[in-house]
Structure 1
Amino acid sequence: PGVGKTSLGKSIARALGRNFVRISLGGVRDEAEIRGHRRTYIGSMPGKIVQSMKKAKSINPVMLLDEIDKMSMDFRGDPSAAMLEVLDPEQNHTFNDHYLDIDYDLSQVMFITTANVRYNIPLPLQDRMEIIELPGYLEHEKIQIAKRHINPKQIVAHGLDKFDVDFKDEAIKKIILEYTREAGVRNLEREIASVYRKTARDIVLAQATNGKKIRSNKKFVIDEATIEKYLRVPRYRTQKAEKEVRVGSITGLAWTSVGGEILQVDATIMTGTEKLTLTGQLGNVMKESAQAALSYLRSNAKEFGLDANFTKGKEVHIHLPEGAIPKDGPSAGITMALAMYSAFSAKPARSDVAMTGEITLRGKVLAIGGLNEKLLAARRSGIKTVLIPKDNEKDLTEIKDEVKQGLKIIPIQTIKEAVPHVFTTVKNSKKITKKKSK
């Protein structure tokens, strides 16, 4: 939400020089809303498609069907089934509206549909569309949108265009990181408008004393301190990577709908029944990844320098903090595997290394999604080295240089390849054991 899908539709119409019409399909339940009512009914009228064509006053407009995933069905019919004919280029040249009762040609209309959730659109309808996914904006993109578009618009809206108001980049960044958590820029615009409203109030108070207006050319600067004064206590916090080196604690990377986050995985070993306990509101896929990680370590104990029966009489507990937030997905597999290895071998892991990747029982690291957001989260949290699957190396060409700046990105194919980068003392410990054996 808020990434500019509707605005993009308007821009396409403007670029093509065609008329633009928008139909909101949110909450449409009746098939007659699309196909129209028969003329025998009282209050009958054409459907939304024909009404929009009348409004467009041309045969080839750009028609935006907004929120197509919000349509629902009831006893009056299924409007999404009626949309099949509208969107099918092989059928829509003979679209029949019940009110007109004649075939109408829609083949020259350019249809653009928007949706928030792809899975809510019926599969036959998806088959008639070319789907373009719009990812959420990254931090540096939001800063540029705020500077170029939101700030000039809000300055005029609040009557501040005649005053010298300087909105610092650091202040915009503070709002993005600490006061909003979204894929688009809707809440960012709301918070910036709130800041300008309070700035306008301060200007009025500064220029009036006892009802008398005082002229002053004072410059008004909006910085980080001003943001905290106007918007009060920050609503969100940016999770920073831990500085201290700890046994059984590894940093992973997670993708969320509003960007990337670092994921702290803690593993601990206790004496008890031989079982694996998982906490932190994990989904089924993530639980299966933990099981696969433990099975891999047990089957390759000798290669990792662990005892053959290292799990005998031991209970393994893996916890992912922030237990109120549901977590799922296979990309934390390598993180959980190395967290367990660190706990069993008592080797501390580096805190400035983060990783992501799905694992197999053979120890291979498979490709993951959301790499752009994950790398941005690592950079924001102070991580210096990121381990990614070898299959994702080709995706790095599409990621902007400002995201990769300051990060050492290491592609890996197996879990064993990750060990030297995470545990700096592994090589030394091997040399010591060889000397002792002689």
Structure 2
Amino acid sequence: MTATNLNNTSTVTIPDALPVLPIGDTVVFPLAIAPIAVGQERSIKLVDDVMRGNRIIAMVAQHNREVRPARPEDLYTVGTATIIRQFQRRPDGTIRLIVQGLERVQLTDFLQTEPYLLARINPLPERLDPGTETEALMRTLRGVFQQLVRLSPQLPDELVTIAENLTDERQMVYLAAANVPLESSDRQSILEMEAIADQLRRLIELLQQGLAVRELEFEIVSETREELSKRQRQVILREQLRTIQRELGEEDPEQAQLQELRQHFEQANLPAEARAEAERELGRLERLSAASPEHGIIRTYLDWLLSLPWNKTTGGTIDILYAQEVLNEDHYDLERIKDRILEYLAVKKLREERQAEISLTGAGEAEHAAIAGPVPQTNADEARREPILCFVGPPGVGKTSLGQSIARAMGRKFIRISLGGVHDEAEIRGHRRTYIGALPGRIIQALRRADAADAVFMLDEVDKLGIGFQGDPSAALLEVLDPAQNYTFVDTYLGVPFDLSRILFICTANTTDSIPEALLDRMEVVSLAGYTNAEKLHISRRYLLPKQIRAHGLRADEVTMDDEALGRIIRQYTREAGVRNLEREIAAVIRKIARRISEGATTPIYVNAEQIPEYLRRPRFINEVVERIDRPGIATGLAWTPVGGDVLFVEAAMIPGNEERLVITGMLGDVMRESVQAALSYLRSNAEQLQIDDAVFQGKTVHVHVPAGAIPKDGPSAGVTMLTALASLTTGRVVRNDVAMTGEITLRGKVLPVGGIKEKVLAAYQAGVKTVILPRRNEADLDDVPLEVRQQLRFILADSAQEVLNEALSQQPEAVSV
């Protein structure tokens, strides 16, 4: 088969079989020139092979362009034989082609599918029926096409001239079909029509629809242009009216607001950069019409800029003795935490005083130096590098209230910002003013509410920041909390630096594990582990009970609750590191008393320990340790959680079978699973030393389970507990029910140190444990444990697994079969 090219200067022979290139939902028409991008590996292979030959390929559209690679059933049966005129390989590996359509072809059957499609083809020449009707259709199409080109800015004007000079109906059809915007299905239907007259009719119908749309668009644009001209005229008239009103002294409300804004600007003590930006935006606002969309945006921006406390401070001189009095009044115990806060305030006080002395000039400075000696020289950067305190501890231990006490002690305003669930960087840095409803970030918003540049900021739940597709808010906090750069913090909305170095930032978190290292590096972690039962009793008596009596509308002389009643609530109805649930239980008791008084009961009402179940029903917690250790294979461990320490039980059992297996259950993490395997390997490798018959393991399935299976558990500190449970199981010796332990175990039997000692010891104390086994290298951590608890517990410091087993296991084996 032969075909004539567009310039009709040569003929091209089209073979009976051609490689087939699927082209998505694109349609290439005969006689048309089109750019094609090739990126699929099989398509690149096809093009490379064709470029070595006659450069002719069949291009066929797909039913669904999303299918890749296209199969024979995914293609239309009618396409176009094309010849590659230009070939360009790009750096990214794709190929750019310029192809020219030759003739319509029909795919009859496929000869191959790999490495690319190859099909046998039949030519489909168009059928031309010369006559008056065809000539009329040709002229109609030319006229509609030329009119559509004139109304379409995206179509070049040269198409009008080209269409005018065309006399061949086939060329006219494919020129219009290739250039006007059409749906892919419409292009394919035109390509599949055999009669030129049918193609002309279909094109005229489609082009007339497009022409009607273009005429409607042109009409809308004309009306809009007239409306804009009318508005411009109104703007000019309004400006002239303002000038007349100003001359007559009858200024309109808008001008009065602008004048008030100008006076506010003149009175505001803005820094140089903020003043320059405010001056520029105020000038723009005065030139804009109130009807302009930008008017409200600029007005809101200026309101924010002028209402911020750029140089307004509230705190006076720091009084260390008063600060100590406030901390002792608001918080019981926490002596180490209070000492660190007082040290922080003392350093801040000295820095401020020394910096004020450095500012002395002339004779005053010389006189001071002669009397008091030289003043320590500290530059501004050193003065700014104050640590950011981060209170880390379980819920309810008083982290937020410590921040409130610090603000009260310094005479500053207190602001709390909760960061839990924040996952948008703009929440910290602010939004761009280009967005509708844009606002500054939470830091600037809180400053405006506080109306002070030296407030105490409590960034609560910093460990619960999220990361979303809007950015990482923890990265934005780096600039806020870094003393070396937060004095030039730039909020995206404001666009000018604001000095945050005068703010006292305090962070809170339940754990440091989820805080990014770069952010944690800018903080000084102050741990609050929790309270003992005696401390909870003092807190209840001193703070919680009076607070709940007042909160429920009662007087102090109407309710009396003795220490035994409060102690029973602490021991049997709460088990936590803090006092939040304890306060809820006290509130429940007070509510019932308030109801009795409302019903006419006589006062005062006395509550003793025996009456607590009447108010709170049956106890929720009992001494679980004694009840659980009743047979070999059970050991008591100690665990750390984000809400404080906890008691962990490990149970082991052996099941006869045909093979030796280790089964681990209880939703344990990989580290705890490895601890079980290490403990079992140690027992088997040291069976003779531990007086364990190795035959006890033969053909047995060892099952290790940690109850509360719905709660995920992980960490290395349960290693000695796993070892003790397995040793108890294999020797028949019951683990002492008053012993709890923690520590990591190695295959050599070494006991390695672990973290969270204070929290774990407090949990053991509250659970009724008498003896705690700890790694010897954790001995220094016992200094953090309250003296009251240390006096009540016996501590065993172990270096080896043998020492742990000697202390934990009873001397005589129980008659229990394993």
Shorter-normalised TM range: 0.7 to 0.9
For 1:254, the aligned partner's letter is: A
Q: Quote the sequence identity (%).
A: 55
Deviation for aligned residue 1:410: 1.5
For 2:671, the aligned partner's letter is: V
Deviations 1:363-412 (A, max 9, x none): 01111223233333333444333222111122222211221233221111
Secondary structure of 2:626 counterpart: coil
Question: Is contact 2:629–2:735 with CA below 8 Å preserved after alignment?
Answer: no
- Does 1:221 find its partner at 2:615? no
Deviations 1:220-246 (A, max 9, x none): 122334332222234444423249763
Secondary structure of 1:295 counterpart: helix
- Does 1:68 find its partner at 2:453? no
Give the equivalent residue in structure 1 for 2:727. Answer: 341
Secondary structure of 1:65 counterpart: strand
Question: Is contact 2:637–2:649 with CA below 8 Å preserved after alignment?
Answer: yes
Deviation for aligned residue 1:420: 2.9
Residues 247 and 120 (structure 1), Cα distance of their counterparts in 2 relative to 1, 3 Å cut? closer
- Does 1:173 find its partner at 2:576? no
Deviation for aligned residue 1:282: 2.5
- Does 1:106 find its partner at 2:500? yes
Question: Is contact 2:745–2:752 with CA below 8 Å preserved after alignment?
Answer: yes
Give the equivalent residue in structure 2 for 1:262. Answer: 647
Structure with larger Rg:
2
Give the equivalent residue in structure 1 for 2:669. Answer: 283
Matches within 5 A, 1:152-171: 152-161=546-555, 163-171=557-565
Secondary structure of 1:240 counterpart: helix
Residues 156 and 287 (structure 1), Cα distance of their counterparts in 2 relative to 1, 3 Å cut? same
- Does 1:127 find its partner at 2:127? no
Question: Is contact 1:372–1:403 with CA below 8 Å preserved after alignment?
Answer: no
Alignment counterpart, residue 149 of structure 1, candidates 534, 538, 543: 543
Give the equivalent residue in structure 1 for 2:680. Answer: 294
Secondary structure of 1:250 counterpart: strand
Give the equivalent residue in structure 2 for 1:436. Answer: none
- Does 1:198 find its partner at 2:605? no
Secondary structure of 1:90 counterpart: coil
Secondary structure of 1:197 counterpart: helix
For structure 2, list consecutive stretches of 5 or more residues without a partner in the other structure.
1-394, 814-818
Question: Is contact 1:331–1:358 with CA below 8 Å preserved after alignment?
Answer: yes
Give the equivalent residue in structure 1 for 2:704. Answer: 318
Deviation for aligned residue 1:43: 4.8
Secondary structure of 1:265 counterpart: strand
Give the Cα separation in 2 of the matches to 1:423 and 1:25.
48
Residues 343 and 203 (structure 1), Cα distance of their counterparts in 2 relative to 1, 3 Å cut? same
Question: Is contact 2:573–2:620 with CA below 8 Å preserved after alignment?
Answer: yes
Question: Is contact 2:577–2:644 with CA below 8 Å preserved after alignment?
Answer: yes
Give the Cα separation in 1 of the matches to 2:644 and 2:435.
51
Alignment counterpart, residue 139 of structure 1, candidates 514, 521, 533: 533
Structure whose residues are more often helix by fraction: 2
Deviation for aligned residue 1:42: 5.4
Alignment counterpart, residue 21 of structure 1, candidates 412, 415, 428: 415
- Does 1:357 find its partner at 2:743? yes
Secondary structure of 1:118 counterpart: coil
Give the Cα separation in 2 of the matches to 1:126 and 1:13.
23
Question: Is contact 1:386–1:410 with CA below 8 Å preserved after alignment?
Answer: yes
Deviations 1:138-180 (A, max 9, x none): 3333222211111111112223225342212232233334434
Q: CA RMSD in A?
A: 2.9
Give the Cα separation in 2 of the matches to 1:241 and 1:204.
43
Deviation for aligned residue 1:199: 0.5
Question: Is contact 1:249–1:265 with CA below 8 Å preserved after alignment?
Answer: yes
Give the equivalent residue in structure 1 for 2:129. Answer: none
Give the equivalent residue in structure 2 for 1:435. Answer: none
Secondary structure of 1:278 counterpart: strand
Residues 67 and 324 (structure 1), Cα distance of their counterparts in 2 relative to 1, 3 Å cut? closer
Return 377-386 or 32-41, whichever deviates more: 32-41
Residues 171 and 307 (structure 1), Cα distance of their counterparts in 2 relative to 1, 3 Å cut? same
Give the Cα separation in 2 of the matches to 1:247 and 1:43.
67
Residues 161 and 421 (structure 1), Cα distance of their counterparts in 2 relative to 1, 3 Å cut? same
Give the equivalent residue in structure 2 for 1:115. Answer: 509
Give the Cα separation in 2 of the matches to 1:261 and 1:33.
36
Residues 33 and 290 (structure 1), Cα distance of their counterparts in 2 relative to 1, 3 Å cut? closer
Return 34-43 or 139-148, whichever deviates more: 34-43
User: Runs of at least 4 residues of structure 1 off by over 6 A?
Assistant: none
Give the Cα separation in 2 of the matches to 1:245 and 1:33.
55
Give the equivalent residue in structure 2 for 1:49. Answer: 443
Question: Is contact 2:511–2:642 with CA below 8 Å preserved after alignment?
Answer: no
Give the Cα separation in 2 of the matches to 1:78 and 1:331.
33
Secondary structure of 1:131 counterpart: strand
For 1:220, the aligned partner's letter is: I
Give the equivalent residue in structure 1 for 2:346. Answer: none
Deviation for aligned residue 1:196: 0.8
Question: Is contact 2:417–2:459 with CA below 8 Å preserved after alignment?
Answer: yes
Residues 330 and 203 (structure 1), Cα distance of their counterparts in 2 relative to 1, 3 Å cut? same
Give the Cα separation in 1 of the matches to 2:796 and 2:405.
40
Give the equivalent residue in structure 2 for 1:210. Answer: none
Deviation for aligned residue 1:413: 0.7
Give the equivalent residue in structure 1 for 2:757. Answer: 371
Give the Cα separation in 1 of the matches to 2:784 and 2:472.
41
Residues 419 and 139 (structure 1), Cα distance of their counterparts in 2 relative to 1, 3 Å cut? same
Return 132-141 or 279-288, whichever deviates more: 132-141
Deviation for aligned residue 1:290: 1.1
Secondary structure of 1:267 counterpart: strand
Give the Cα separation in 1 of the matches to 2:435 and 2:653.
71
For 2:507, the aligned partner's letter is: T
Give the Cα separation in 1 of the matches to 2:472 and 2:522.
17
Residues 262 and 173 (structure 1), Cα distance of their counterparts in 2 relative to 1, 3 Å cut? same
Please give the TM-score of this superposition, normalised by the length of structure 2: 0.47
Give the equivalent residue in structure 1 for 2:778. Answer: 392
Question: Is contact 1:241–1:381 with CA below 8 Å preserved after alignment?
Answer: no
Question: Is contact 2:549–2:556 with CA below 8 Å preserved after alignment?
Answer: no
How many matched pairs? Answer: 418
Deviation for aligned residue 1:414: 0.5
Question: Is contact 1:138–1:373 with CA below 8 Å preserved after alignment?
Answer: no
Residues 387 and 115 (structure 1), Cα distance of their counterparts in 2 relative to 1, 3 Å cut? closer
For 1:378, the aligned partner's letter is: A
For 2:609, the aligned partner's letter is: E
Question: Is contact 1:181–1:258 with CA below 8 Å preserved after alignment?
Answer: no
Give the Cα separation in 1 of the matches to 2:718 and 2:470.
46
Deviation for aligned residue 1:197: 1.5
Question: Is contact 2:656–2:699 with CA below 8 Å preserved after alignment?
Answer: yes
For 1:187, the aligned partner's letter is: N
For 1:192, the aligned partner's letter is: I
For 2:655, the aligned partner's letter is: M
Residues 40 and 345 (structure 1), Cα distance of their counterparts in 2 relative to 1, 3 Å cut? closer
Give the equivalent residue in structure 2 for 1:84. Answer: 478
Looking at both structures, which has the greater relative contact order when contacts are Cα pairs under 8 Å and sequence separation is at least 6?
Answer: 1
For 1:113, the aligned partner's letter is: C
Question: Is contact 1:138–1:259 with CA below 8 Å preserved after alignment?
Answer: no
Give the Cα separation in 1 of the matches to 2:568 and 2:423.
42
Deviation for aligned residue 1:92: 1.7
For 2:806, the aligned partner's letter is: P
Question: Is contact 1:420–1:426 with CA below 8 Å preserved after alignment?
Answer: no
Give the Cα separation in 1 of the matches to 2:726 and 2:440.
65
For structure 1, list consecutive stretches of 5 or more residues without a partner in the other structure.
208-215, 428-438
Residues 365 and 49 (structure 1), Cα distance of their counterparts in 2 relative to 1, 3 Å cut? same
Residues 81 and 95 (structure 1), Cα distance of their counterparts in 2 relative to 1, 3 Å cut? same
